[in-house]
A and B are shown apart, each in its own frame.
Chain A
Amino acid sequence: MTFWRQVYEVARKDLLVESRTAEVALMTAPFGAAALILIPLAIGTDAPLLSQLGPGLYWIVVLLFGMLVILRKSAVDGQAQRDLVRLLGIEPAAAFTGATIATSVLVLFFEVALGPVLIALYNPELRGWLWLFAILPLVAAGMGLLGTIASGVTTSIGTRTSLTPLLIVPLSMPLLMGATQALEGLRLGRGIVPWLLLLVAVDLALAVSGVLAARPLEEAVT
Chain B
Amino acid sequence: MNEHEIAHLDDVGLRLGNTIILRQAKLVLEPGEKVGLLGPNGSGKTTLLRIIATLLQPTSGSGAVLGAELGTHDVYDIRSRIVMVGHLPGLWPELTLGENTELVARLSGRPAEIAADALAQVGLGRASERRADQSSKGMLRRAELARALILEPTLLLLDEAHAGLDAEAIGMVDTIANRVVAAGGAVMLVSHEPDRLNVDRSVVLVDGTLEGVS
A residues within 8 Å of B by Cβ? 1, 6, 9-10, 13, 16-17, 20-21, 76, 78-81, 83-90, 219, 222
Are A87 and B53 also in contact (CB < 8 A) when A1-B109, A9-B103, A13-B103 are? yes
- Closest CB of chain A to B160's CB: distance in Å? 12
- Closest CB of chain A to B11's CB: distance in Å? 20
Instruction: State A1–B76 Cα separation when bound (angstroms).
Output: 15
**CB within 8 Å of A: which B147-173 residues:** 147, 151
B90 touches A84 (CB 8 A): yes
B89 at interface, CB cutoff 8 A: yes
Residue in B103, B104, B151 whose Cβ sees the most chain A Cβ within 10 Å: B103
- Closest CB of chain A to B18's CB: distance in Å? 14
B190 at interface, CB cutoff 8 A: no
Pick the contact of A87: B77, B82, B88 (CB < 8 A).
B82
- Nearest to A78 among chain B residues (CB) is B88
Q: Give 1 or 0 for each of B90-125: 1 = CB within 8 Å of chain A CB.
A: 111011000100011011110000000000000000
Instruction: State A79–B89 Cα separation when bound (angstroms).
Output: 10
Residue in B77, B106, B147 whose Cβ sees the most chain A Cβ within 10 Å: B106
Q: Which A residues are in CB contact (< 8 Å) with B92? A: 13, 17, 76, 81
B79 at interface, CB cutoff 8 A: yes
Q: Which A residues are in CB contact (< 8 Å) with B50? A: 83
Interface size, chain B (Cβ < 8 Å): 31
A20 touches B108 (CB 8 A): no
Instruction: State A9–B131 Cα separation when bound (angstroms).
Output: 19
Instruction: State A6–B108 Cα separation when bound (angstroms).
Output: 9
Q: Which B residues are in CB contact (< 8 Å) with A10? A: 107
Instruction: State A20–B94 Cα separation when bound (angstroms).
Output: 6
The majority secondary structure among interface residues of chain B is mixed
A86 touches B79 (CB 8 A): yes
B residues within 8 Å of A by Cβ? 16, 50, 53, 55-57, 76-77, 79-80, 82-84, 86, 88-92, 94-95, 99, 103-104, 106-109, 131, 147, 151
B55 touches A87 (CB 8 A): yes
B83 touches A87 (CB 8 A): yes
Pick the contact of B80: A13, A88, A222 (CB < 8 A).
A88
B55 touches A83 (CB 8 A): yes
Are A80 and B89 also in contact (CB < 8 A) when A88-B107, A222-B16 are? yes
- Closest CB of chain A to B8's CB: distance in Å? 19
- Closest CB of chain A to B118's CB: distance in Å? 15
B99 touches A89 (CB 8 A): no
Instruction: State A9–B104 Cα separation when bound (angstroms).
Output: 10
- Nearest to A215 among chain B residues (CB) is B76
Pick the contact of A9: B82, B83, B84, B107 (CB < 8 A).
B107
- Nearest to B89 among chain A residues (CB) is A80
Q: Which A residues are in CB contact (< 8 Å) with B77? A: 89
Q: Which A residues are in CB contact (< 8 Å) with B53? A: 83, 87
B84 touches A83 (CB 8 A): yes
Other contacts beyond A80-B89, A89-B79: 17, CB < 8 A: A1-B108, A9-B107, A17-B94, A21-B94, A76-B92, A79-B88, A80-B88, A81-B90, A81-B91, A84-B90, A85-B107, A87-B55, A87-B80, A87-B83, A88-B151, A219-B57, A222-B16
